């Protein structure tokens, strides 16, 4: 078995045998090589129930790396870890990390400006600092920080031990009991070398956060959030289980994100030096959308399709899933870094081209949960550096241009051998943007991060029914009965019934269907079937009847090419122009649009409507109590016909704005002078002394209403048509 760059050998076997699947009948550990996306989807997603397990690795267990989610055998332990990790990193919650990701991306720009020759070191420092701060609320002092050094050594052990075929212990498990001093036990010695580092990486920072929480001085962090959620298990049999799971998930957050995201950032820099024409096109888009006076933000990405395509192409270009993402049938010229392959004729992302991020992060129930966070980190890194820097290979000590290679080196997580060092500010204005940036203070960071944590819904995925209380007897039961009815027990207030499978309820097919569709609606993005099944704890991927009803649901959209599911909203709007077009269409049909419904289809709709209102394109109605948007209408009466508005004469506009709107008292007097009465002031007919006759139901009384415009009398000629001729 190849221990270096095994993906290339696997790919050559598939090509040699002209098969998507190659079976290696190795002694004691057969291997199945999957060489195409179609075969991977068929086995790992559609048949996830039988293809989601893991063979235990003895060398990994001896290193104490068996808490890694990717290596835990499929079962209850894996489910607990997976849900806990997903709760902190799913698509709708990773926005809380945006302020910190922005800070570290911009800190990277400052470091590059000072010493571009240390590009590789700065990338590592940015990713390491970002993940440590998010996970433990701790700012590391640099790559020589003790916590960083310990973590890097621990990851080195994982990178070596997790490569298939690395250790003979995986083929002869009983040999694990041979003492390390015995000849031929180099694997045991290697495991003993890395064991203390793995333990310290996982335990030391977590225990520090736990101690600081008890003192009330712990900053917001992923570890602090997990610890707080687990307090409800205090004193129960499950306390140890969930504390260990939280400890593992926190440790895994660094292990899963540090090397992989670092490798992606380095790969992108290498691609920019090798393919400068791509760099120029991306910079042109940034100049057009962001402009020269500020740095990119996450809110810009809706208008940066080429940058989003670069994130996709970076995941495809030099991935671990090498053979599938270098298939020329799916991606022509696979060795070329070419984001244009994902751009359609309209300049937006082409949905007919398979998104490589749905492959590079794994399949089925083993799909990496940290994908949204990783993609966001890579996206803001790409946008930030291209906006202010030109990237080239650089020069060596003799002043000659460096020749870069696309060769990858490494074990489990490979990275590019070469990283460019020729990074120069694009202009003096770009240099000023970097120089004027100052790393936001820890207090500001913590406040923003804490605000995001407070907004998140931290309902437990593993809530259990409240334990049965001992039955009281005699007078004690009688005296306590009324108080129990009046006051709910304090313990039951902390029980959250959020998952049907966790509470012993929700086994009905309709309940499971409703839960799956409701969650799909809340995601806002296309998701995989297996993710829905895991998140909702429903047998969506194994129960054929449930799956058929789910697919047939009128609100569920399925893309057979990507095998992703999305929610069918009432309106398909994703920008302000499309929103205005929809408002115009609805207004022409004689009505307005509910802002709430629009927001469900596009979360940014209320903000866009506010902008359209300021620009005079729409009218809105608001709630009386708090002034929130309710309905929106197109303003079709405009001074020009640029957007199809109806032109009216200037005389009418002047009259309209000069009208004096009477107050309530003056309006009643005006009505009285005309011999009229307000509709609300109804005359009350005297009732008979004996009231209504029993047994007879009076017919509904018809109101006599006259619509009047008496307050306009003498101000506007209501018989005149003020619409411009021919309109």
3-state secondary structure of 218: coil
When pLDDT is averaged across residues 464-493 and rounded to a whole number, the result is 42
Other beta carbons less than 10 A from residue 151's beta carbon: 26
Topology at the third CATH level for domain 500-567: Arc Repressor Mutant, subunit A (1.10.10)
> 14: annotated binding-site residue?
no
How many Å apart are CA 179 and CA 187, to the nearest integer?
11
Q: Pick the most confident of 65-69, 110-114, 469-473, 635-639.
A: 110-114
Structure confidence at residue 681 (pLDDT)? 52
Range 56-436: architecture per CATH: Orthogonal Bundle (1.10)
CA triple 134-138-139, angle to 5 deg: 100
pLDDT over threshold 80, residue 637: no
pLDDT over threshold 50, residue 686: no
pTM above 0.85, yes or no: no
Q: Which two tokens stand for residue 150?
A: 């310990």
Structure confidence at residue 440 (pLDDT)? 42
Q: How confident is the model at residue 132 (pLDDT cuts 50, 70, 90)?
A: very high
Q: Which two tokens stand for residue 665?
A: 């008292």
- At 576-603, the pLDDT tens digits run 888 998 898 888 887 788 998 888 888 8
How many Å apart are CA 558 and CA 562, to the nearest integer?
9
- At 253-309, the pLDDT tens digits run 888 878 889 999 999 999 999 999 999 999 999 999 999 999 999 999 999 999 999
**Domain residue spans of the chain:** 56-436, 500-567, 648-679+701-727
How many Å apart are CA 542 and CA 58, to the nearest integer?
31
Q: Using only the alpha carbons of the chain, give its radius of gyration.
A: 32
pLDDT over threshold 80, residue 662: no
Bridge partners, 594 (sequence order): 631
How far does CA 387 lie from the centroid of its chain?
24
Angle between helices 76-89 and 222-229 (to 10 degrees): 120
Compute the 3-state secondary structure of the chain and give helix, strand, coil in percent, each to the nearest 5: 50, 5, 40
């Amino acid at each position: 078995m190849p221990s270096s760059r095994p993906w290339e050998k696997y790919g050559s076997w598939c090509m040699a045998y002209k098969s998507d699947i190659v079976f290696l009948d190795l002694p004691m550990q057969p291997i199945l090589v999957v060489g195409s996306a179609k075969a991977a989807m068929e086995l790992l997603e559609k048949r996830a129930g039988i293809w989601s397990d893991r063979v235990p690795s003895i060398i990994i267990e001896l290193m104490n790396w068996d808490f890694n989610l990717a290596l835990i055998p499929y079962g209850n332990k894996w489910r607990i870890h997976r849900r806990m990790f997903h709760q902190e990193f799913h698509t709708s919650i990773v926005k809380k990390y945006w302020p910190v990701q922005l800070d570290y991306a911009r800190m990277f720009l400052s470091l590059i400006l000072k010493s571009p020759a240390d590009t590789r070191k700065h990338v590592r420092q940015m990713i390491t600092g970002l993940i440590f701060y998010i996970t433990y609320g701790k700012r590391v002092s640099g790559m020589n920080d003790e916590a960083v050094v310990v973590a890097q050594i621990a990851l080195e052990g994982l990178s070596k031990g997790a490569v298939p075929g690395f250790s003979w212990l995986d083929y002869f498990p009983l040999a694990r009991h041979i003492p390390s001093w015995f000849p031929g036990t180099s694997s045991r010695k290697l495991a003993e070398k890395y064991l203390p580092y793995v333990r310290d990486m996982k335990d030391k920072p977590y225990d520090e956060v736990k101690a600081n929480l008890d003192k009330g001085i712990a900053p917001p962090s992923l570890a602090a959030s997990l610890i707080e959620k687990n307090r409800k298990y205090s004193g129960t049999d499950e306390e140890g289980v969930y504390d260990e799971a939280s400890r593992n998930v926190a440790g895994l957050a660094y292990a899963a994100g540090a090397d992989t995201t670092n490798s992606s950032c380095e790969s992108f820099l290498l691609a920019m030096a090798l393919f400068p024409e791509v760099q120029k096109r991306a910079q042109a888009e940034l100049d057009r959308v962001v402009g020269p006076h500020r740095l990119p933000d996450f809110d810009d990405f809706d208008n940066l399709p080429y940058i989003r395509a670069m994130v996709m192409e970076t995941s495809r270009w030099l991935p671990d899933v090498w053979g599938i993402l270098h298939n020329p049938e799916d991606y022509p010229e696979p060795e070329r870094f070419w984001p244009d392959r994902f751009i359609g004729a309209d300049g937006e992302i082409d949905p007919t081209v398979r998104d490589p991020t749905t492959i590079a992060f794994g399949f089925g129930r083993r799909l990496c949960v940290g994908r949204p966070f990783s993609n966001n980190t890579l996206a803001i890194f790409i946008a930030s550096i291209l906006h202010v820097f030109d990237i080239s290979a650089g020069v060596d000590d003799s002043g000659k241009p460096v020749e870069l290679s696309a060769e990858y080196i490494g074990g489990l997580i490979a990275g590019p051998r070469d990283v460019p060092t020729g990074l120069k500010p694009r202009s003096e204005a770009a240099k000023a943007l970097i120089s004027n940036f100052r790393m936001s203070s820890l207090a500001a960071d913590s406040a923003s991060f804490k605000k995001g944590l407070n907004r998140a819904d931290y309902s437990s995925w593993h809530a259990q029914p409240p334990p049965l209380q001992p039955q009281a007897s005699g007078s004690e039961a009688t005296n306590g009965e009324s108080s129990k009815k009046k006051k709910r027990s304090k313990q039951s207030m902390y029980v959250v019934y959020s998952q049907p499978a966790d509470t012993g309820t929700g086994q009905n097919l309709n309940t499971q269907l409703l839960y799956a569709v409701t969650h799909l609606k809340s995601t806002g993005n296309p998701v995989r079937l297996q993710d829905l099944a895991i998140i909702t704890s429903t047998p969506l991927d194994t129960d054929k009847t449930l799956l058929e009803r789910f697919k047939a649901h009128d609100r569920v959209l399925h893309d057979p090419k990507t095998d992703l599911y999305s929610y069918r909203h009432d309106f398909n709007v994703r920008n302000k122009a499309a929103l205005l077009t929809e408002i115009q269409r609805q207004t022409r049909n004689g009505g307005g649009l509910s802002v709430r419904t629009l927001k469900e289809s596009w979360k940014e709709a209320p903000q866009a409507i506010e902008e359209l209102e300021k620009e005079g394109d729409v009218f809105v109605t608001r709630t009386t109590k708090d002034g929130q948007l309710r309905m929106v209408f197109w303003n079709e009466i405009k001074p020009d016909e640029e957007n199809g508005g109806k032109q009216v004469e200037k005389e009418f506009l002047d009259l309209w704005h000069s009208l004096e709107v009477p107050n309530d008292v003056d309006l009643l007097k005006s009505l009285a002078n005309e011999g009229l009465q307000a509709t609300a002031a109804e005359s009350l007919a005297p009732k008979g002394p004996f009231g209504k006759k029993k047994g007879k139901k009076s017919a509904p009384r018809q109101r006599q209403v006259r619509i009047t415009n008496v307050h306009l009398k003498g101000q506007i000629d209501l018989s005149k048509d003020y619409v411009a001729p021919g309109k």
